Amino acid sequence: MQQSTEEKILAAAAKVFMEKGMAGARMQDIADEAGINKALLHYYFRSKEKLFDEIFKEVSGQLLPRLNQIIESDISLFDKIWAFCQEYISRMVENPYLPLFIVEETNKQQGAFLERHLGNKRLRLDKLAQQVQQEVARGTIKPIHPLELFLTIISMCAFPFLGKPLLQHMSGMNDDMFNAMMEARKSEVPKFIINAIKK
């Protein structure tokens, strides 16, 4: 095992926190998952809260920069919608627990939490907003508020991972079928959105 103890803990904590959430995760679960003693957890990370913060920072710090990079890039609006959906869905297929983890904790943790973790690296929508307004003015797309467009994009990309159990229950879909559907949605979603807004 090349992994240092700290890395083992972080990997184990990420897994357990993402599966069970902050409230449902047990320090013992994390210790077991990491194959170490519970006391060693507290040796590396003083408290559950500190460890959780570390994981949340790591996890959100991994995703947001990549999305920001796309959102602020110089490509055309339609290309940007494509790139965003592709990247977002690809990341979530790799890590299907992520959307629920983020959504759950941003809803449950107290106000200061979001500021602490995302204060510096929040998504910058300025450029996207500018592009939308340009295209509206130019008459290539129907009038739409940039934030609404963004919300729609992220809704279509993220929600399927949140509603997966319900969806599977309703349709009898297994995991492979779900993944195949999400693979298809990497292009279906941007096509759908562009169809909806283009004149």
**Which residues contact its own copies by CB under 8 A?**
20-21, 23-24, 100, 102-104, 106-108, 114-115, 118, 122-123, 125, 142, 147-148, 151-152, 154-156, 158-160, 162-167, 169-171, 181, 185, 188, 192-193, 195-197
Q: Does 39 bind DNA (CB under 7 A)?
A: yes
Listed in sequence order, the residues at least 6 apart from 36 whose beta carbon sits closer than 8 Å to its beta carbon are 5, 8, 9
Pick one of 11, 40, 67, 129: the residue that binds DNA (CB under 7 A): 40
Complex with DNA: residue 78 or 113, whichever CB lies closer: 113
Q: Which residues contact 87 (CB under 8 A, 6 or more apart)?
A: 66, 67, 70
Q: Please choose which of its own copies, DNA, none residue 156 contacts, taking the beta carbon within 5 to 8 angstroms, the exact cut-off set by kind.
A: its own copies
In this complex, which beta carbon is closest to DNA, that of residue 22 or of residue 193? 22
Distances (CA, A) of 157 to 3, 11, 18, 111, 183: 33, 26, 19, 26, 11
For position 49 contacting DNA by CB under 7 A, the verdict is yes
Contact partner at residue 64 from its own copies, DNA, none, CB < 5 to 8 Å by partner kind: none
Q: What type of residue sits at position 136? A: V
**Which residues are near DNA by CB under 7 A?**
5, 25-28, 36-40, 42-43, 46-49
